[in-house]
Amino acid sequence: MADDSGFARTYGVGLLLPEPARLDPDRLHAALIRGCGRVDRLIADKPSVVLFSFPDHTVEHADDEVVPTQLMLLPSEDPLPSDVLESSLEQTWDFPGARDAVNSHRATVYVTDFLANGLPYAERLELFHNALSAVLDELPQCLAIHWVQAQRVVDPQNYRQLRAERGADDPVYPAISVRIFGGDSSSGEVVMDTVGLAALGVPDVQCHFVGLEVNAVANALYGAAYYLFERGDVIEDGETIQGVGEGVVRWRCQHEEALIPPARVVVDLDPGPPFAAGERGGDEESAG
């Protein structure tokens, strides 16, 4: 669930499974303690739902009440609808077996945080990573992860390996995704953006252009997204960042409404003439 800015009040993924999962709350509890520290098991209203809380990760809510964040596991004996997954499959670039995995799944477990939207976004994401890794330890049959806010399908084995190798050094993967739209029309216009940052409370990034190499633009978008994740929304309108191309290339930044859904605020990167598409304007300052 997200508000009008794209910020996610609950943040979650769908685990795609070959058959319905038999969740063992005691084993999950032990795995979460290993991965996350202090964890309490809670009793959910529905017997099928498994619920935990993290007493070391608290947020302040109404009437100055301080409550621990929670993690919910919601199993389903049904696969996710194909129309829910298709747009994510179309923008998944690093999982060659994604479509086969999606077509093979017959059941799901949705893993989501709860009461966590008041945490600092870096703490929230790191806690979610640690919890998800623990859950995956108990569900080795998982075929794919539908990372909802990043609109991508993730290879669970690759995710676990990369988290083990560089998790603390790369807290963003795979919570953001670079998408590409267009390029096949007579105008040659392309829109590329990131999706996933706004769900955490940081602007995503977009670029509307012609005549640039998409892999180079993707690298620029990733670089800007990582910068925003590390420092927060610190880029002022009119500032410039390093672009791509020969020589000293500066791209002007401007906060705008996203050109491509979901609705959210993004930092638009203007590559300037002759590569810029769409209408832009303003003065330039350097962001470093």
pLDDT tens digit sequence for 29-49: 999 999 999 999 998 878 889
Cα 77 to Cα 4, 89, 108, distances in angstroms: 31, 22, 7
Which contacts (CB < 8 Å, 24+ apart) does range 229-234 have? 229/121, 229/122, 229/171, 229/172, 229/176, 229/197, 229/200, 229/202, 232/202, 233/202, 233/203, 234/287
Residue 145 and residue 160 in contact, taking contact as beta carbons nearer than 8 Å: no
Where is 214: in which H helix or E strand?
A: helix 214-231
* C-alpha–C-alpha distance, residues 101 and 142, integer Å: 9
pLDDT of residue 3: 54
pLDDT at 187: 72
For residue 282, what pLDDT is reported?
45
With a cut of 50, which residues of the chain have pLDDT below it? 281-286, 288
Determine the angle formed by the axes of helices 25-36 and 121-138, rounding to 10 degrees.
Answer: 140
CA dist 136 and 98 (Å) reads 17
The pLDDT of residue 60 is 87
What confidence score (pLDDT) does residue 185 get? 59
State the pLDDT at residue 2. 52
CB 15 within 8 A of CB 109: yes
- What pLDDT was estimated at residue 186? 61
According to the model, what pLDDT value does residue 89 have? 94
In angstroms, rounded to a whole number, what is the distance separating the alpha carbons of residues 240 and 250? 6
Name residue 59's beta-bridge partners.
Answer: 67
pTM to 2 decimals? 0.91
